[in-house]
Amino acid sequence: MSDFSTPWIDGKRGYLSDWLTQLWVKSSRVKINPHYENWLDGPTGEPKIIGESYFEEFATKNKLTIETGSEEGLVEDFSHLNSSQFSSDKVNPRIIDFYENTSRFELDIWSEWSTPAKPFGWLLSKLFSTRIQQLNLPVSALDSSLGITSEIIALKNEMNKTKYVGWLRKVVKTKNVIYAGAYTSCTPPNLGYECVKVVFPLPNGNATVILWPENMDDGSLKLHSSGNEFGDGGFYLLVYSSSDKAYVKYVNAIKETIHVYLDENDELRTDHIFKFWGSTFLQLHYRIREKRFA
């Protein structure tokens, strides 16, 4: 998948660049038992690759069944996010429809890297994301010029209850996986109310993004992955050393805002803003439309 090699160490540690990243996470010395800190628990990846077959492999390993083709959404019931801080009644119904029935929608995407950050994005792509087929953000707008595919995959337990909803997005032009994210919800201990939780499996661990919702006066929605410390919303990196022990690093420097709204032409759009220490380094712009069926 990539012409930029990083040495393979062994079947446990994986590639050198991945192993060094995992050592950096472990340097935080924050350890949890995922069985008890289940607000942070989530799917993990094998050392080599995540890719488009991840959810099938995860389902087989964890005795889950896969359901595709039905009207599944990233959020089962948007009202579950209601709290003293947020009301789903104030969100435009078309936005809620997208989140509760995501499989009915298709997306176009435009990426916009800041000039200083673009070389860093290219390096990340070559060292990590293209090789593992995960978090593979388009570096050039031309990469996604032919569009992206969007597949919703429900992972259900023996009681037919949805445990995770997988969202697999791929670039049409290159067939590269952009995101393989497992969606659910959780209640971070410092917030005390339900948030959207997205888990991106990585070699021997995952990146977990916890997004808290905000009502906007015009009926649009903002989701924020931001906070100040462990237990807040935000961006977490986890490395699992066993099923009951994981190292966690809360990456306070990275914050995201997802703004979902209707534009002046009544089209559904999303602006996804990434910041590093307060400076915007990447913007993803989505146009969201219902799929056209023959």
Distance CA 84, CA 81 (A): 10
Rg (CA), the chain: 18
Q: How far apart are the first and last CA of the chain?
A: 34
Contact 105, 149 (CB under 8 A): no
Instruction: Report CA-CA distances (Å) from 83 to 65, 80, 111, 192.
Output: 32, 8, 33, 9
- Other C-beta atoms within 10 Å of 165: how many? 24
Those residues of the chain that have pLDDT short of 50 are: 1-3, 294
Beta-carbon contacts of 224 under 8 Å, excluding residues fewer than 6 positions away, are 211, 212, 214, 233, 255, 256, 257, 258
pTM of the entire predicted model: 0.95
pLDDT score at 138: 83
- How do residues 247-278 score in pLDDT, each as one tens digit? 999 999 999 999 999 999 999 999 999 999 99
Residue 211, helix vs strand vs coil: strand
Express each pLDDT in 118-127 by its tens digit.
999 999 888 8
Q: Percentage of residues in the chain with pLDDT exceeding 70?
A: 97
Q: Is 154 exposed, middle or buried (0-12, 13-18, 19+ CB in 10 A)?
A: buried
pLDDT of residue 83: 97
